[in-house]
Amino acid sequence: MVSIDIETEDGQKEALRRMMLIRSFDDTAGTLFADGEIPGFVHLYIGEEGVGVGACAALEPDDYITSTHRGHGHCIAKGLEPQSMMAELYGKRDGYCNGKGGSMHIADVDAGMLGANGIVGAGPPLATGAALSAAQKDEDRVALAFFGDGAVAQGQVHEAINLAATWDLPAIFLVENNQFGEGTPVEKQHNLENLSETAEAYDIPGFTIDGMDITAVYEAVQEARERARNGDGPTFIEADTYRFRGHFEGDQQPYREDDDIQEWQSRCPIDSFASRLVDAGVMTDDEVESLRAEVDEEIAAAAEYAQNADEPDPTEAYDDMYAVSVPELTMFAGRSVRADGGSPTNTDQ
């Protein structure tokens, strides 16, 4: 649950710290995945930190976000704890989802984080629903959907925008245009050069900003939030950004050139913001470096915690399917044979 005033110097430092936290988290996650420590898939947010942090900084703590398969950054930006996130990546019991979600499904509904999501384009309808809920209860809350350029081709995204626009819901649709939908360049997936022109079809404001500049994202979301809270309906924002890593870890990336990656890396949202703060006299170079070291230490500690955390008990696989107890689960769980040859003892069958 985070809200940062980037107009103040303290807010600027905190925004920088949070971007660094994401970078360090994902650098570490990438390494741990490569080392075989973390199972499954991981999709890293490196390069896009300015979008997540800029957007969440402009939201209020009670606001909702929906996320994507590339969700670590959104989680940290919304104020989730790296320690419990890392534990989730490891599939440990103390993870945000008790080890049932993993990298692609981290959620903390109480913090307004309605889940990373493995389905491209599934978040916007959920955000529309959260905005509907807030509107019906007359709560001072908005819902922001992060989604990628690839998702703009999904039908349900358009349905969600149409609903939110038609009902003037307090929603914000934020496209992170990182230039590739998996391994296919954005121009091969869309007839629009500016994805923000999508908004015109729904008679809502749509515009494109530099997603590598956290201040642009912050300002845009702040304005969109104000519009939403005034009952004027949703806004569509396209943030131009770039993922510095592959679609997933291990992606050989035959679809792009080193030159392009370097060009975008030269606009790194963290380095560029840090140097602006140094230029403006808000921080010294030494302070930036010690902040980075502090953040790296925090993430290293989170990883260590996660490595040593408890595995879930195998019987927990049968928990959380339903709010109530369903006889089938007890009945069928009793038939499962453990890797160690044992069988669950908590059944009555």
Partner 1 sequence: MGDRSTPTVGVIVNPAAGRDIRRLTGGASVSDNYAKRRTATCVLQGLTLAPDRIRALVMPDRADLGQRLVGGADDIDADVSLLDMQITGTPKDTRNAAEQFSDVADCVVVLGGDGTNRDVSTTIGDVPMVSISTGTNNVVPTPIDGTVAGAAAGLVATDVVDIEAVTQRHGTIEATIDGKAGSGTVSGLATMGLLDRPFIGTRAVLDVSEFVGGAVSRAFPTEIGLSGIAGGIQTCAPDDAGGLGLRFGDGPDADAHTVRAITVPGVVNTVSVSECVRIESGEPWTVSIDRGVVTADGEREREVSDAEVTFTVSDAGPQIVTIPAVFQQAVDRGVLSMQPIEQKR
Partner 2 sequence: MSTETGTTHGKSTETMTVREAIREAMREEMQRDEDVFLMGEDVGLFGGVFDVSNGLLEDFGEERVKDTPISEAGFLGAGVGAAATGSRPIVEIMFSDFMGVAMEQTMNQMAKMRYMFGGKTEMPITVRTTEGGGMGAASQHSGTVHTWFAHFPGIIAVAPGTPAAAKGLLKSAIRSDDPVFFFENKMIYEQSGEVPTDPDFTLPIGEANVEREGDDVTVIATQRLVGESLQAAEELDSELSVEVIDLRSLYPLDTETIVDSLEKTGRVIIADESPISYGTHAEVMARLMENGFYSLDAPPERIGVPDTHIPFSPSLEQEVLPSAADVTAAIRRLT
Which spans of this chain sit near partner 1 (rule: CB under 8 A)?
A: 6-7, 12, 187, 192-194, 196-197, 199-200, 205-210, 213, 215-216, 218-220, 223-224, 227, 235, 276, 279-281
Q: How far apart are CA 128 and CA 163, in angstroms?
A: 7
Q: How many CB atoms lie within 10 A of CB 298?
A: 17
55 binds partner 2 (CB under 8 A): no
Q: In terms of Cα–Cα distance, which of 287, 265, 274, 216 is closest to 46? A: 265
Q: How far apart are CA 267 and CA 272, in angstroms?
A: 6
98 binds partner 2 (CB under 8 A): yes
Pick between residue 129 and residue 211 the one whose CB is nearest to partner 1. 211
15 binds partner 2 (CB under 8 A): no
Smallest gap, in angstroms, from Cβ of residue 223 to partner 1?
5
Q: In terms of Cα–Cα distance, which of 45, 21, 250, 18 is closest to 146? A: 45
Pick between residue 92 and residue 245 the one whose CB is nearest to partner 2. 92
Among partner 1, partner 2, none, the one that 197 touches (CB under a kind-dependent 5 to 8 A) is partner 1
Structure tokens that stand for 186 in this block: 């954005």
Task: Please name the residue that has the structure tokens 């909702």.
Answer: 64
Please tell me what DSSP assigns to residue 208. Answer: E
Pick between residue 74 and residue 227 the one whose CB is nearest to partner 1. 227
Q: In terms of Cα–Cα distance, which of 154, 163, 130 is closest to 64? A: 130
Among partner 2, partner 1, none, the one that 293 touches (CB under a kind-dependent 5 to 8 A) is none
Q: Which residues bind partner 2 (CB under 8 A)?
A: 64, 66, 95-101, 105, 107-110, 114-115, 117-119, 122, 124-134, 136-137, 143, 155-156, 158-160, 162-163, 166-167, 319-328, 331
